[in-house]
Amino acid sequence: MEAEHAYRKLIRKIINNEITDPKSLAAEKKKIAKICGLNKIPSNADILTFCNDYERAAALSMLQKKPVRTISGVAVIATMTSPAPCPHGKCIPCPGGPDTPFKSAQSYMGSEPASLRAVEHNYHPYKQVAARVRQLQIIGHPVNKAELIIMGGTFTARDPSYQQWFIKECFAALNDYGKPENNSSDRSLLELQRENETALVRNVGMTIETRPDYSKEKHIDEILKLGATKVELGVQTTDNKILENINRGHTVEDTIQANTLLRDSCFKVGFHIMPGLPGTTIESDLNVFKKLFENPDFMPDYLKIYPTLVTEGTELEKLWRAGDYTPLENEAAVELIAQVKSILPMYVRLQRVQRDIPVQQILAGVTKSHIRQLAAKRLADMGKSCQCIRCREVGHQQLKGRSPGEVIQQIHTYRACGSIEHFISYEDITQKIVIGFVRLRFPYHTHQNELENAALIRELHVYGKLVPVGTKDKEAWQHQGYGEKLLHTAEETAQDAGYKKIAIISGVGVREYYRKLGYGQEGCYMINRL
């Protein structure tokens, strides 16, 4: 009873604007805990559990933990597959796998946050997803738009029955939000997908992590049925000699083929790149990144930079201890990443820099977990700025106290994988803030019948804090009509180029949105005649 009384007092003070910032909140927590004789300081999550719907809405801006979690307009739900070896063997820097003391998913050490959550739930997808959704909701985040990230190695190399079961359980967990947990569902994948179209927690996107040589037509067709919308490829480098040296098991030509097939199947494509591999230099690594955005065979939509790390039990550790390998260290990595950020085009999003591996497990290499921030500061000291989407998106800018002024539409056209891409966006070009964008492709060659003679919308995204489906927030950027305007411009652009229909790769939970705009489902796509 004392606890409830304390929480109610705190809620009233927040709503009455007697508490206006984190500092005054912390002080009031301590004061009320002492007055009410509590044995612990109330947490923000505890306070939120005592809020009714009105109070929660009014107090959320003060009590929400880690606002960055949903500041890009979606709630990211990462889930990890069970440990399994890579089909080609093992790369020399690879730290994990089922045959190591870590007993982890391939390329993970078992101590990363996502790995720990997976182990806690015995790698069961339903339990992982349900727990993560619940955790985000407890700390004050809306979870109605969920983006699934499927981690844990080469997903498309797993047995097809495992792939289908894994994704089926993910959908079941989303659909069962707010209901008693099933943990195992007798519903089919198709039934669960249809249910998710109108569920409380809708899947707005699904990312699959895999290898270029496991992104052939048959793999693409399978993950389309699962509901995937984006593929992240373990590219690592654009140098065949380096790939051979590290026993990567695929070639640059595999990457080019995968990139083309995925784009022409309407997927968004991300690359993982590893600077500092054996045989590379700072100069050669910088040239790899330049090549990514100068050679139309590449041009990724998303990018993750994972500096090579020396970890226990790897072949790379043996080379390092023998003096045959010198890793990329902190200072050199800061300089390299700053240089990379200075050349990134406006259509790419630099998602991540550095692995989640705890510093005590890194024997040599980059040990600074905030290497991205250090590189951004170095870039600013050079009088330059990064033009990538993440550095310009409105939600991240508002967290820094910057809001857009005049917002106008921009169209940037470039060549990629044998054809034309249009990056259509709404931006404040003076302040360099992006509100939202659409990726429109005129395909080189499609192998899906549904896409014959169709222009492709590979992505539509409006940024800013997540606004739940069916609601509006006058202070937010979602649900203000930008998505519909972007879609209309993409349709006009396709029509002007002679296309008679347009296809969208849609997250299962976004299909209803497109139906309201005149689209109908054909196979795995939402299609409209122009």
- What average pLDDT does the segment 359-386 reach? 94
- Give the distance from CA 355 to its chain's centroid: 14
Q: How far apart are CA 123 and CA 421, in angstroms?
A: 38
Contacts of 258 (CB under 8 A, 6+ apart): 212, 213, 215, 216, 231, 233
- Give the distance from CA 216 to its chain's centroid: 22
- What average pLDDT does the segment 261-286 reach? 98
Concatenated DSSP letters of 503-521: EE---GGGHHHHHHTT-EE
Binned at pLDDT 50, 70 and 90, residue 294 comes out as very high
pLDDT of residue 61: 67
pLDDT of residue 70: 75
pLDDT digits 0-9 by tens, 198-253: 999 999 999 999 999 999 999 999 999 999 999 999 999 999 999 999 999 999 99
Residue 138 neighbours by CB distance under 10 Å? 15
Contact (Cβ atoms closer than 8 angstroms) between residue 202 and residue 509: yes
pLDDT of residue 185: 64
| Residue 36 in marked binding region | no
The better pLDDT of the pair 520, 178 is held by 520
362 forms bridges with which residues in the sheet? 311
Q: What are the percentages of helix, strand and coil residues in the chain, rounded to 5?
A: 40, 20, 40
pLDDT of residue 171: 97
| Residue 391 in marked binding region | no
pTM recorded for the entire structure: 0.90
Report the percent of the chain where pLDDT is more than 90. 71
- The CA distances from residue 466 to 73, 188, 400, 425, in Å, are 4, 30, 17, 19
Is a pLDDT exceeding 90 seen at residue 466? no
Q: Look at 85-94, 134-143, 333-342 and tell me which has the smallest mean pLDDT.
A: 134-143
Q: How far apart are CA 317 and CA 363, in angstroms?
A: 8
| Residue 51 in marked binding region | no
- What average pLDDT does the segment 382-408 reach? 92
Q: In degrees, to the nearest 5, what angle opens at C-alpha 406 toward C-alphas 400 and 411? A: 100
pLDDT of residue 507: 97
pLDDT of residue 182: 61
**CA nearest neighbour of 307 among 389, 248, 367, 256:** 367
Mapped onto helix, strand or coil, the DSSP state of residue 461 is: strand
Mapped onto helix, strand or coil, the DSSP state of residue 382 is: coil
The 3-state secondary structure of 138-184, one letter per residue: HCCCCCCEEEEEEECCCHHHCCHHHHHHHHHHHHHHHHCCCCCCCCC
Q: How far apart are CA 188 and CA 177, in angstroms?
A: 18
pLDDT of residue 312: 92
pLDDT of residue 40: 82
Q: Is beta strand 454-462 parallel, antiparallel or unpaired with respect to 433-442?
A: antiparallel
Contact (Cβ atoms closer than 8 angstroms) between residue 238 and residue 290: no
The better pLDDT of the pair 113, 11 is held by 113
Is a pLDDT exceeding 60 seen at residue 356? yes
The better pLDDT of the pair 50, 125 is held by 125
CATH topology for 395-529 is: Aminopeptidase (3.40.630)
Dmax over Cα atoms in the chain, in whole Å? 73
Binned at pLDDT 50, 70 and 90, residue 54 comes out as low
- What average pLDDT does the segment 309-333 reach? 96
Q: How many helices (H) and strands (E) does the chain have?
A: 19, 16
Average pLDDT of the residues of the chain: 91
Contact (Cβ atoms closer than 8 angstroms) between residue 461 and residue 436: yes
Contact (Cβ atoms closer than 8 angstroms) between residue 314 and residue 93: yes
Binned at pLDDT 50, 70 and 90, residue 102 comes out as confident
Binned at pLDDT 50, 70 and 90, residue 111 comes out as confident
Is a pLDDT exceeding 90 seen at residue 55? no
Concatenated DSSP letters of 303-349: EEE----EETTSHHHHHHHTT------HHHHHHHHHHHHHH--TT-E
Give the domain ranges of the chain: 2-63, 395-529
- What average pLDDT does the segment 319-335 reach? 97
The better pLDDT of the pair 101, 419 is held by 419
Is a pLDDT exceeding 90 seen at residue 62? no
Q: DSSP secondary-structure letter at 89? A: B
Q: Look at 65-69, 142-146, 479-483, 509-513 and tell me which has the smallest mean pLDDT.
A: 65-69
pLDDT of residue 58: 62
pLDDT of residue 139: 77
Q: Look at 185-199, 246-260, 318-332 and tell me which has the smallest mean pLDDT.
A: 185-199
pLDDT of residue 6: 75
